[in-house]
Amino acid sequence: MLEQGTISIHTENIFPIIKKSLYSDHQIFLRELISNAVDAIQKLNMVSRAGEYSGDIGEPEIQIAIDKNNKTLSITDNGIGMTADEVKKYINQVAFSSAEEFIQKYKSTSDQSIIGHFGLGFYSSFMVAQKVEIDTLSYKEGAQAVHWSCNGSPEFTLEESPRTTRGTTITLHLMEEELEYLEAARIKNLVKTYCDFMPVPIKLDGEVLNRQKAPWRESPSNLSKEDYIEFYRYLYPFQEDPLLWVHLNTDYPFIINGILYFPKLRPDVDVTKGQIKLFCNQVFVSDHCEEIIPQFLLPMRGVIDSSDIPLNVSRSALQTDRTVKKIGDYIAKKVGDRLKELYRDNRDQYISAWKDLGTFVKFGVMNDEKFKKQVEDILIFRSTAELSNQTASETPAVQVQSEGEDAWQDVTPPSSPAEGTEGGSYTTLKEYLERNKERHQNRVFYCTDEAAQATYVELHKKQGLEVLFMDSFIDTHFINFLEREFQDVKFTRVDSDLDQTLLDKDQATEIVDPKTNKTRGEVIKELFEKALNKPKLNIRTEALKSDNPQSTPPAMVLLPEILRRLREMNALMQQQMVEFPEEHILLVNTSHPLIQNLATLNQGSIIQGGGESPTGQLVNMICQHIYDLALMSQKGFDAEGMKGFVERSNEVLTKLTEQATK
């Protein structure tokens, strides 16, 4: 062995670490110094309540002063102050946290938080200052004011001060490259960002810069609906009002306070990025807390404030551990409880919010097994059935977790039910299956585009088949999830195939040509095959049931369920648009008057020596036009396709008017 000893760490190393590594963002120095000032005021309140200080506390405040001539920025508090010994202990001994020691001593009398936990916050001032001075006078009787000064090296001076007022002033002599912090607008912006909800007035030139009141720290009974909405508007200006919110207020198993809002979702919202603001004892930490919030709740907004969330020493990032995971699970459970409560007690409000709320819930169900078990019975779908649902109120609802027994209390003003739920009735999947088990057991008809698939939906409705609307962007994936959950249930989109209930088999087999012994369907199929000349197009002829055949479509394009899903999956994996397949089904409705007239018209066409007769040409054009109309519900035409469609339409109308005027 060559040598054995102890590794030494020199104090001169601490300043380069602070300036270059410990804090990544220079501007947070103001947050740290104001946090220390708030701590000093809170400590004075604590010793006063403990009976160790009988003097006048006065009105707490923090003063910020800018001196452009001397290039100094100062922060003054009227808090507990420090003695010379305390300065030596808490300032000269870097990384020794006075907050930790103080909390232990006054734990039994404290009902307020002490912000600092690291003891390094004060030294963040050396990121922007070439010299830092402390002028302080302790609350202790007979204490001598002291002045501390350091130029960013391990050397410091400590001497008596003529100060006569209790409290502390930190004066920063700013570096040339940091003079932006002498601008009042810059200071106001930083206070609003980091210190807006600190419970002490922060003043600059006599103006109070911060709101002070943190609504999430208030008792829920003290907040009105307007208070919650006003707070949301303050946090997220120019946004629509939230759907509903959850007020978290508990000290077991973690200390967590907060208000979480369900916003109305917009198409441009990035659901992968969180917008919940993270605070630690009312000190702003971050705009994002993806590590805490379960992924499916990231689109939520609001505030979470907890001293139990483990931050790194600069408070700039979370230290992921089991605590973070448990806090995330806890928040998810409370959100689930809130949704169940709303579904049970205020169904109309739940339905009103579902269009936006459903995205959260479905995503959570697919990604969190515990959450799925919580809410699987309250998943609802809009339905074509006429059900006796209550209608939705426009008033956002709120339930809060009470401080005492971890119970939920409804503080939503009662609302009056409206005439009818806009957009139809709502049902759970289990209710749907039970209601339709005799007509189509374990089969679910669904629609993904109400406008494009309106014809198909109406056809099902007229024959008494209930259709569910699954038209949110998440439903393509959610249907696959439901099929795994309900393995004996078949999901069929309304345009994939037609249930036998919708068809009149007797009409389709009727003999219409005794010479060839061909049925109506066979004759019409040959007619369309000839006119369209598309080998990959599968033409089917069926008679659709209806009391009024004119109200049914003359033809429909069908896309088989399995093949359509495979194409959608392949397109998703290759990050491409889903292209319309060449191989698809054209179902021609033989009971429609247009199709019957077309067959009659075709019988009168005469093949001439030079080719097809004008009537035969018209029949072919009408077949093409019927196909175009059926195709429009499945795909949009490109420029060339639309040009051809318009030209054919004009030509058909011209020929029809020519015949009508003969």
pLDDT at 395 over 50: no
Task: Take residue 367 and report the two structure tokens written for it.
Answer: 């990604």
Q: pLDDT tens for residues 50-62?
A: 888 888 899 999 9
233 Rama class: left (phi>0) / alpha (psi -120 to 50) / beta = alpha
Say what the pLDDT of residue 600 is: 84
Q: What amino acid occupies position 155?
A: E
Q: Where is 374: in which H helix or E strand? A: helix 369-375
36 contacts 122 by C-beta, under 8 angstroms: yes
pLDDT-derived band at 181 (thresholds 50, 70, 90) equals very high
pLDDT tens for 197-239 read 999 999 999 999 999 999 999 998 999 999 999 999 999 998 8
3-class SS at 409? strand
At 22, the pLDDT band (50, 70, 90 cuts) reads: low
Does residue 110 or residue 299 have the better pLDDT? 299
d(CA 371, CA 241) in angstroms, rounded, equals 26
Confidence class of residue 404 from pLDDT cuts 50, 70 and 90? very low
For the chain, percent of residues with pLDDT exceeding 70: 80
Work out the mean pLDDT of the chain and round it to a whole number: 82
What is the mean pLDDT of the segment spanning 426-440? Answer: 91
Model pLDDT, residue 115:
42
- Which structure tokens are listed for 441? 């057991």
pLDDT of residue 508: 54
| Structure-token pair, residue 427 | 């049902």
**Where do we find the tokens 């104090």?**
11
| Mean pLDDT value across residues 267-276 | 69
User: CB 577: neighbour CB atoms within 10 A?
Assistant: 7
- Each residue of 97-143: pLDDT tens digit? 444 554 455 455 545 553 444 346 788 898 899 999 999 999 999 99
- The answer to whether the beta carbons of residues 257 and 216 sit under 8 Å apart is yes
- Residue 263 or 203, more confident: 203
| Separation of alpha carbons 297 and 301, rounded Å | 9
Q: What is the pLDDT of residue 411?
A: 41
Q: What confidence tier does 632 reach under pLDDT thresholds 50, 70, 90?
A: confident
Quick: pLDDT tens for 530-568.
999 999 999 999 889 888 888 889 999 998 888 888 877
Alpha helices (H) in 214-321, listed in sequence order: 225-235
Question: Of 5-9, 254-258, 534-538, which gets the smallest average pLDDT?
Answer: 5-9
Q: Is the pLDDT of residue 571 over 90?
A: no
Q: 68 and 173 in contact (C-beta within 8 Å)?
A: no
